[in-house]
Amino acid sequence: MIRHLLSAADLDLATATTLLDSAEQMFAIQHREVKKLPTLRGRTVVNLFFEDSTRTRSSFEIAGKWLSADVINISAKGSSVSKGESLRDTALTVAAMGVDALVVRHASSGAVARITEWVQCPVINAGDGTHEHPTQALLDAFSLRQRLGELRGRHVVIVGDLTHSRVARSNVLLLATLGARVTLVAPPTLMPSGVASWKCDRSWDLDDVLCGRAFGDVDAVMMLRVQRERMSGGYFPTEREYAIGYGLSPRRLALLPEHAPVLHPGPMNRGLEISSAAADSARSIVLDQVKAGVAVRMSVLYHLLAGDQQPAPVLEEAVR
């Protein structure tokens, strides 16, 4: 098992499958009256977030607490970072307190990897700049497995602001590892640099892809948030034109096969990349993704912190 989780590229097929299978077990406790396992009792996990977050930080906190770990949240606002302390000094200070794992989100790509050079404890990447977000890719794969079953040979379409999306990069890597086909769809201005080397197909025509003319039948579509806060130039003429060209409208929703779910990592810009009709439809598994986030992050924490000491049979007994 890996020591850190920095990138979806860190996960080979066996490791990714193990994490997803364990998440299936963790998912079951969400329906229990007492949502606690003793697995990480006595361990301390610090969520060190230099960027705002609701879903990721909350789900890591819940995941740690349901595994009986002590969880501490530290944000840049209100910490010594706001006084000018460097990333290195902050990481070393927190690690010196004897913590067992760091969950880090940072606005700069590669910052989380640098932290692993300074600390001894496991580090989990909760999103670094426009680079990667591996646990989001895991929870997306988990949600797809619940809806579609085996992912090998499935065709997943990812649409939207690819240039600024760490979610897209991690999903392409992980889905390829799991044997799925991926097609990226975006206007030319939002296709990331170097995308030609990625293990995926690419298109600028969303209608052609969704109706199956371009790359075959679609098994799932993931809409990405337009990250206006990261945009410093004119990536598209107007929001209305973007919605017309690349938004998941009711008409486009009807192009999908009946079995194909709609995903979105959130938060959603309703009326821009996704219509309310699509977001609230029976095809939408957005809330399933949120539920999956807790189970997947429980699995990651378990395998990084207790996997060697508590083999799978012990975990199975605890879940039962």
Binding-site residues for carbamoyl phosphate sit at 55-56, 105, 133, 136, 266-267
What are the tokens at 177?
Answer: 């590892």
Minimal CA–CA distance to 1: which of 320, 222, 301? 301
Phi/psi at 283 (nearest 5 deg)? -75, -25
CA gap 107, 156 in Å, rounded: 27
Query: Is there a contact between 101 and 122 (Cβ–Cβ < 8 Å)?
Result: yes
Question: Which amino acid would we find at residue 93?
Answer: T
Query: Is there a contact between 133 and 126 (Cβ–Cβ < 8 Å)?
Result: yes
Question: Which amino acid would we find at residue 5?
Answer: L
Minimal CA–CA distance to 242: which of 260, 269, 264, 218? 269
Instruction: Classify burial at 130, counting beta carbons within 10 Å of its beta carbon; exposed 0-12, middle 13-18, buried 19 or more.
Output: buried
Give the residue numbers of the binding site: 55-56, 83, 105, 133, 136, 166, 225, 266-267
DSSP string over 258-286: TT--EE--S---BTTTB-HHHHTSTTB-H
What are the tokens at 131?
Answer: 């680079």
Helices 286-305 + 134-148 axis angle, to 10: 120
Query: Is there a contact between 160 and 190 (Cβ–Cβ < 8 Å)?
Result: yes
Phi/psi at 249 (nearest 5 deg)? -85, 170
Question: Distance of CA 218 to CAs 117, 157, 257, 274, Å?
Answer: 42, 7, 7, 17
Cis peptide before 267 (omega within 30 of 0): yes
Give the residue numbers of the binding site for L-aspartate: 83, 166, 225
Read off the DSSP letter of residue 248.
B
